Chains A and B, each alone.
Chain A
Amino acid sequence: MTRKLLALSLLLSVFTLIFSNSTLAAGSDEDKTSFIMHHVVDSHEWHFVTFGDTHVTLPLPVIVYSADRGLEFFKSSDFQNHETHKFGKEYAYEGYFIDDHDHLGRVDGASFIDFSITKNVVMMFIVLFLVAYLALSAANHYKKNGPVAPKGAAAILEPIIIFVRDEIAQKSIGPKYKKFVPYLITLFLFVWFGNLLGLIPGAANMTGNIAVTMVLAVLTFIITNVNGNKEYWKHIFMTPGVPPLMLLIIVPVEIIGLFTKPFALMVRLFVAITAGHIVILGFIALAFIFESITIGVVSTVMVTFINIIELLVATIQAYVFTLFSAMYIGSAVAEHAHDDHH
């Protein structure tokens, strides 16, 4: 197990180096680190690697909706200089442009909504399909064979399902856990696969994107409050055991508390995954800033080490996100005494 983990981490590190070297070959120190932020944030194109002047890039669809022009479709390469493959305001196309910070803009300044299939959207679809494929083929096993011992995809998923059901849902939510198990399993698998696939060099930092974590956190927030029972709301608006005058302070705090929970969910996953990516890429950048083989060797060792940690973090963060979602839901559906919370 340890050997496999080490081998996997080393492989990831070597590939990360291969994928990043050419962007770093020349330029100022700032250029040598700019690729870090470029990797961490979303993009309208999927840039894999650059060999000299050859860019290996997947152009992605750019979808724009504006009140006056309706829905419009472009591809990201429309907005690039064909020689340098760089975005810029000067390469506007059909009234739109993508600036050098990868922001879509409109030449006349009118408002629009960007529905582009960005790098992270593609990454998300890959994760969705992987999870769906695994889950459906596992379900197929049960459909074909009935409730027998698991095999194949079912053997992979079954321990996870049982873990989420028994260790996360049942323990955090209580007797009404059954209703929420499917959501929690989906959540766990999505975040976990997103985290793991994000570690592959060249892949997108999907679960380390605040839009993705925000949507997941908001879903948990909605599920929590839709299922909130009388006691849950009473606890917020008529906090028991508090003098009426104090309620003026407590109730706003409780209401803020409603929103801090999903906010914490959103930020925790975003920060944990993004930070991991930044640290790995930072170590790689060191080698090119110092332009030293020694530093390169040290960097590789460090990147391997961080990758091991990241593999764990990927799993832990998926677990934590699911666990906290379950706990928030649990606090909303619980019927035990309020004293437990204080």
Chain B
Amino acid sequence: MDLITPGSGLIFWQLFGFLGLLFILIKFAWKPMLAALEERESSIENALKAAESARNEMANLKADNEKLLAEARLERDVILRKAQEASVKMIEDAKNDALKVTAQQIENAKAVIETEKKAALTEVKNQVAILTLEVAEKLLRKNLTDQKAQKALVDEFIKDIKLN
């Protein structure tokens, strides 16, 4: 057969053979395969996108967490400072109160002492008055009996007083 003259039989068989192959493969091979490939490619792309968005979300969450933590820290500091202030104030107040109470008590004690002193003095005065009255009475009685004796008695009494 010739090199550059196409043979009729070969053209015929090649045409129908190749077209047959083409139709069979398009229907049963390439369409399902290309569809499967596309499906897989899109699923991979989606998975990548999902991973990306998950990563972004994670980053956001982390940022949020950090923000919350910072806020919590700030709040804690405020609370601590307030508590400290409160405790200092309480101690101060307690001190002041104690001082006041003590002063009051001292005041009261002083007043009691004064009262007691006055009472004691009154007692002494009363005793002195009674004694004086008793001396006067005895003196009067002796005086009534004897001059001499009276005078001795007075002396005696005076001696007693002196002794006392």
Contact = CB atoms under 8 A, between A and B. Distances in A.
Interface of A: 37, 40-44, 63, 101-103, 113-118, 120-121, 124-125, 128, 131-132, 135-136, 138-139, 142-143, 146-148, 154, 157-158, 161-162, 165, 178, 181-183, 185-186, 190, 209-212, 214-216, 219, 274
Contacts of A118: 1, 7, 9-10
Interface of B: 1-15, 17-22, 24-26, 28-34, 36-37, 39-40, 43
Contacts of B25: 131-132, 135-136, 182, 185-186
Contact of B29 (A41, A103, A135): A135
Given A63-B9, A182-B34, A211-B11, A42 B26 contact: no
B12 to A, nearest CB: 6
- Of A118, A135, A162, most buried by chain B (CB within 10 Å of CB) is A135
B46 to A, nearest CB: 12
B6 A124 contact: no
A185 B4 CA distance: 27
Contact of A147 (B9, B10, B37): B37
Given A182-B22, A182-B34, A113 B28 contact: no
Contacts of B37: 147, 158, 161-162, 165
Given A135-B25, A147-B43, A157-B33, A121 B18 contact: no
The SS class assigned to the A binding surface is helix
A118 B39 CA distance: 43
- Of B26, B36, B39, most buried by chain A (CB within 10 Å of CB) is B36
B7 A42 contact: yes
B30 A210 contact: no
Contacts of B17: 121, 124-125, 128
A181 B21 contact: no
A135 B36 contact: no
A125 B18 CA distance: 9
